Amino acid sequence: MLTVNMTKTPYDKYRTKPTWTVIEKALNELVDNQDIIFQTIPDYVIGYIVKKLEEAKQNGSTN
């Protein structure tokens, strides 16, 4: 299970996006199954992915 991070991150503005929850749940499953191990705060990973998805959506591309 991912730990909740209360530290401010550059990705906090993406926390309210629906994709945040989806990605967080998916990553939780991978952590729980011991498929991945985080070496950084999970919120940075989740935030980065959500940011990239938002940018792709704005640009009309998912590549």
Measure the CA–CA gap between 36 and 16, rounded to whole angstroms: 25
- Write down the domain spans for the chain: 14-56
Successive 10-residue mean pLDDT values, the chain, 63 residues: 71 95 96 94 94 93 64
Amino acid at 20: W
Given a contact cutoff of 8 angstroms between Cβ atoms, the answer to whether 55 and 21 are in contact is no
* pTM of model > 0.75: yes
In this predicted structure, what is the pLDDT of residue 4?
A: 59
In this predicted structure, what is the pLDDT of residue 61?
A: 74
Which two three-digit tokens encode residue 52? 């990239």
In this predicted structure, what is the pLDDT of residue 7?
A: 74
